[in-house]
Structure 1
Amino acid sequence: MSTSVGLYGASGTAYVLQQALSTLTNEQTQLAGQATSGVSSDSYAGLGDQRGQALSLQPQITAISTWQNSISGAQTNLSVTQSALTEIASLNTTLQTNLLSLGGSYGTDTLSTIVSSAQAALSQLGDYLNTTGSNGYVFAGSDVNNAPVTDASNLATSGLATATSGIVSQLDTLGADSVFETATSYASSGGTFTDSDGVTSSLSVFSPALSTDPVSAKALEAKAVVGQSSVVSVGMVATEGTTPADSTTTGSAIRDLMRNLMIVASLGSADTSSSNFSDLVTKLKASTTSVGISLATEEGSIGLTQSSLTTQSTNLSTMSTMLVSQLSNIKDVDIAAVSVQTGNIQDQLLASYTLISDLKGMTLASYI
């Protein structure tokens, strides 16, 4: 019986040591994983009491990353829009300069050159309005997948251009006021026009979404989410404006510029000595001045938006760094401390293995 008791005692001690070995081995494996990954646990459950804080930090970090991506895309589109808008403003400046030259004595060649310049500018305007950015057409507002101008290369021969040319050809009969008002109505309209040959064409050169009044078009401006419950309008819609159309303006700077170019492009056969011609030129001069102011205001507004987004991006970066640091303090491990713990575990394992080896060689006499 004494022998049985001795053996039972030895096996009981061995069992305890085996359990200790299992625990130490698990701890060693865990420490090795921490040393490799640099984090205390590969799951939130393993973070203990701090898992709640970690769970609340990660969504905030993800949200900030999403907002920063939104800002980055918006900034790219704004830069592209700004460049195109500068070119469009340049077209208006050239038209202003050409109109000034019509105020003095000039010959047929001068008028012909100005008419040709306006025709070429129409094609350029169409191309600029169909500029694309990081996610579609920058002047299309939220309708980014559809070109703002449906047939940019043929803008000078569009239904709107044909209708405008037809009314300008009646300048001496209708007078400058009537011609300018009708041309403005055509440029503002989304209807149709039937020419002298009975051919009906659309008066709108813009996509269906943009063929609307200027105030409604402005509501189509693209939006960017840049923070918690923070959404900003970015860019410019080709047909937007802040006031409704009237007898002298379409309410949209771009549409007014297009109308002005189409009128000038139709002056080739006009009687330059008539008072109607000079009155029409006077109206065009006033309009190009107004268009220039509107475009400059829009460029300034885009610049302010860019500056605001840059500030917001900086603030988000600072916030992200702070939150990532907090999460790191919770999840990341101290490699030096892990190394020390690993060494202690290894020492304990060695001692445990030695004890088990010694137990195997023990006899009843070892208990006496």
Structure 2
Amino acid sequence: MSIIGSIGNLAVDQAALRLRLDTASRQVSTGQKAQVFGDLRPEARRAIDLRGEVARREAYANAADRALARADATQTVLSRLQEIAATMGSEALRAKTMAATGAEGLARTASAALEEVAALLNTRHGGEYLFSGSDVNAPPVPDAETVRTGPMATAIAAAVATLDPANAAAVLADSVTAATGAATTPFSAFLEGPGTTEAQRAVQVADGERVQVGVFANRSQDGAVATSWGRELLRNLSVMAAATPAVAATDQGWADLMDGVVTAMGAAATSLANEQGMLGAAEQRIGAIRSAHKDTLVALRAQLGAVEEVDLAQAAAEMSQLKMRLEASYEVTSMLSRLSLTALLR
């Protein structure tokens, strides 16, 4: 073979070496075997499938994270509401035997609790109201800031003002009417309309797996609306907030009225405990599924890495060898070029 032919063959080999060196350099730089799936043949299809599964699992895990954060915020509110129900139920029990002069203090305490409950029911998380059902952009208690002087509280105060030794049951019935009436309800039009029958908010945490995490301000877990824990809290706190020395002086009427409040507040506290229990069970289910997703993601990413990623140490060593081979080839080409030139000059 002539010197010129040898130089030509070396040029072809050098082009191939440069291509391999470029690929090795990119792999060391990016850590990836290829820039496009097509260059991963014959494992391109497997890489695509693995990436799809990783994306699906990540979406479910992220949804679970958001749902757990929302549930945790809801649990905090429910815990405080249950505490208020228990505390104010005890205050109502104590009020049965208090002197008439203590009525004003009870009214102030109940008014403050009434405002707090309304504000708690309007708690937001992630920019959405927690207790509004699907109407997440509207507060469940539209007039929370003025709940003490709103239609429900005003109607209940008027009923309580008529209390006498024998009509406590009628006064309590009037308070129920005020809390449930279309013109006096403290809740939003959505909650008192479509919201009374819509399904609880649920989160999709796996294929075919939806877990309910929604809690309504005006509905209990058992589906009760007229006697839901939220309505009963607002109603009975309004009754207590309407206390006056004259009302407390009705003796048996006052005692009977407070008995009704104690019973209702106890039922509300129990309902809130059930709400917390149901939500807690949902949190455990979501947490278990999220953990399964994250464990699976570790395995999937390892498999995907084996398909798409290079061993950096091995790639770096190969790149160094390719550089040496290419430099040696250039030296041989240079030497042959000098020999060829010498032959031509003879």
Same topology, TM > 0.5:
yes
Cα contact 1:272–1:278 (8 A) shared by 2: no
2:189 matched to which residue of 1? Answer: 208
- Superimposed CA distance per residue, residues 318-354 of structure 1 (whole angstroms, 9 cap, x where no aligned partner): 1110100000011111223223322432343234323
1:158 matched to which residue of 2? Answer: 150
Cα contact 2:74–2:130 (8 A) shared by 1: yes
Cα distance, 1:238–1:45 mapped onto 2, change above 3 Å: same
C-alpha distance in 2 between matches for 1:283 and 1:353:
100
Question: How is 1:98-117 mapped onto 2 (pairs within 5 angstroms)?
Answer: 98-104=91-97, 106-117=98-109
C-alpha distance in 2 between matches for 1:99 and 1:213:
34
C-alpha distance in 2 between matches for 1:148 and 1:20:
76
1:141 matched to which residue of 2? Answer: 133
TM-score if structure 2 supplies the norm length? 0.89
C-alpha distance in 2 between matches for 1:271 and 1:97:
17
2:308 matched to which residue of 1? Answer: 331
Cα contact 2:106–2:243 (8 A) shared by 1: no
Cα contact 1:169–1:270 (8 A) shared by 2: yes
Cα distance, 1:23–1:307 mapped onto 2, change above 3 Å: same
C-alpha distance in 2 between matches for 1:282 and 1:41:
76
2:340 matched to which residue of 1? Answer: 362
1:121 matched to which residue of 2? Answer: 113
Quote the offset at 1:214 in angstroms: 7.5
Is 1:306–2:283 an aligned residue pair?
yes
Cα contact 1:216–1:240 (8 A) shared by 2: no
C-alpha distance in 2 between matches for 1:97 and 1:70:
40
C-alpha distance in 2 between matches for 1:214 and 1:174:
38
**Counterpart of 2:238 in structure 1: which amino acid?**
M
1:224 matched to which residue of 2? Answer: 203
**Counterpart of 1:308 in structure 2: which amino acid?**
R
Indicate which of 11, 14, 18 corresponds to 2:11.
18
**Counterpart of 1:54 in structure 2: which amino acid?**
A
- Superimposed CA distance per residue, residues 86-125 of structure 1 (whole angstroms, 9 cap, x where no aligned partner): 2211221122111211333x21122222122111211111
Cα contact 1:243–1:251 (8 A) shared by 2: no
1:82 matched to which residue of 2? Answer: 75
**Counterpart of 1:223 in structure 2: which amino acid?**
A
**Greater shift in the superposed pair: 65-74 or 150-159:** 65-74
- Superimposed CA distance per residue, residues 239-284 of structure 1 (whole angstroms, 9 cap, x where no aligned partner): 1222445xxxx23111011111112222323254354333322222
2:233 matched to which residue of 1? Answer: 257
Partner secondary structure for residue 231 of structure 1: strand
C-alpha distance in 1 between matches for 2:240 and 2:342:
119
Partner secondary structure for residue 232 of structure 1: strand
Quote the offset at 1:12 in angstroms: 4.2
| Structure 2 portions without partners, runs of 5+ | none
Indicate which of 32, 37, 51 corresponds to 1:58.
51
Structure with the larger RCO, 1 or 2 (CA within 8 Å, 6+ apart) = 2
- Superimposed CA distance per residue, residues 177-220 of structure 1 (whole angstroms, 9 cap, x where no aligned partner): 3322232132123x22xxxxxxxxxx132223222387526x2x
Cα contact 2:168–2:254 (8 A) shared by 1: yes
| Structure 1 portions without partners, runs of 5+ | 1-5, 193-202
**Counterpart of 1:228 in structure 2: which amino acid?**
D
Question: How is 1:147-296 mapped onto 2 (pairs within 5 angstroms)?
Answer: 147-172=139-164, 175-189=167-181, 191-192=182-183, 203-212=184-193, 215-216=196-197, 219=199, 221-241=200-220, 242-244=222-224, 250-268=226-244, 269-270=246-247, 272-296=249-273
Quote the offset at 1:287 in angstroms: 1.1
Cα contact 2:99–2:248 (8 A) shared by 1: no
Partner secondary structure for residue 171 of structure 1: coil
C-alpha distance in 2 between matches for 1:279 and 1:93:
19
Quote the offset at 1:17 in angstroms: 2.4
- Superimposed CA distance per residue, residues 22-65 of structure 1 (whole angstroms, 9 cap, x where no aligned partner): 11101001001111111111221111111111101112212222
**Counterpart of 1:140 in structure 2: which amino acid?**
S
**Counterpart of 2:57 in structure 1: which amino acid?**
I
Indicate which of 63, 70, 80 corresponds to 1:70.
63
